[in-house]
Amino acid sequence: MESDNNLKAFANDIRIETIKCLKKRGFGHVGGCMSIVETLSVLYGSVMKYDAKNPQWEDRDYFILSKGHGGPALFATLALKGFFPVNWLDTLCEPKTLLPSHCDRLRTPGVDVSTGSLGQGLSVADGIAKGFKIKGKDNWVYVILGDGECAEGQNWEAAQFASHFKLSHVVAFVDWNKRQVDGYINDVMSLGDIEGKFKAFGWYAATVSGSDTEAIKTAIENAKKEHGEMPIAIVLDGVKGSGVPEFEEMFDNHFFNLDAELADKAIARLEA
């Protein structure tokens, strides 16, 4: 297990590499990449079982970024963990790249599921967890959902299914960054009490700060001690664009043209 200082440092590195990657392309889903960095750090720095040299290792835990547009943050994480060279991050969205904007398991080593059409990742996670269960394996499947994505009804079909089949090895994070393409969630389509909704579906659920690696790690550990046969939902109370005040303050921060000067300023601050 990595120490929390290391997880903080890893999160910082992921954030820097993600910004560099998006800066090279000049645009992208910046806000929603920033808000999942700490969770990726905890998963890939401490919690998940994987082999970067053998991404298809049969005994690995699986990870699904259901909000597939957060791909660059996942690619930065995978690169830093040695799944592929860090300089691949310079090729984001170029023709024939192995790093498209949205996650693609057929292209990127370490990506377990192709995502991008929102609302489908939790169902796939259920299937993977069921597959582990049939095989008698003790592996986990981790999935990050967007808060805006939770408007897709299929998530709640999947929540019902996971509960019915006692898929205790599904861990779903909801990136509660409160914003989506058209503005604030509460203005577009109110989501209500996310933790309460999962609990009502028979899940173990908790809410933690999405920008605190220690809190996320502790929440996962506590959940695994307490959940019994229930699947686990961890709501990440966070800020879209987190870690870079200029990104956080921008109103339309879901997808934007990333000014190189601003990116450099942010990177310099994070590297200091």
State the DSSP string of 189-238. -----HHHHHHHTT-EEEEEETT-HHHHHHHHHHHHHH-TTS-EEEEEE-
Residue 205 CB: number of other CB atoms within 10 A? 24
In the bound state with another protein, the residue whose beta carbon lies nearer, of 200 and 260, is: 200
Nearest distance from residue 4's CB to another protein, in Å? 32
In the bound state with another protein, the residue whose beta carbon lies nearer, of 107 and 269, is: 107
CB 243 within 8 A of CB 215: no
Nearest distance from residue 253's CB to another protein, in Å? 26
Instruction: State which amino acid sits at residue 226.
Output: E
Rounded to an integer, what distance in angstroms lies between the CA atom of residue 204 and that of residue 227? 6
Residue 20 phi/psi, 5° resolution? Answer: -60, -45
Kindly state the tokens that stand for 233.
């939902």
In the bound state with another protein, the residue whose beta carbon lies nearer, of 129 and 172, is: 129
Residue 31 CB: number of other CB atoms within 10 A? 26
In the bound state with another protein, the residue whose beta carbon lies nearer, of 24 and 105, is: 105
Nearest distance from residue 193's CB to another protein, in Å? 22
Nearest distance from residue 128's CB to another protein, in Å? 4
Nearest distance from residue 234's CB to another protein, in Å? 20
CB 69 within 8 A of CB 116: yes
Instruction: Please report, as ranges, the residues that interact with another protein according to CB under 8 A.
Output: 62, 105-106, 112-117, 120, 122-135, 141, 154, 157-158, 160-161, 164-165
In the bound state with another protein, the residue whose beta carbon lies nearer, of 30 and 124, is: 124
In the bound state with another protein, the residue whose beta carbon lies nearer, of 3 and 160, is: 160
Q: Which residues pair with 204 in a beta bridge?
A: 232
Nearest distance from residue 174's CB to another protein, in Å? 17
Nearest distance from residue 60's CB to another protein, in Å? 11
In the bound state with another protein, the residue whose beta carbon lies nearer, of 164 and 265, is: 164
Kindly state the helix (H) or strand (E) to which residue 80 belongs, with its residue range.
helix 71-80
Sign of CA dihedral 263, 271, 111, 219: negative
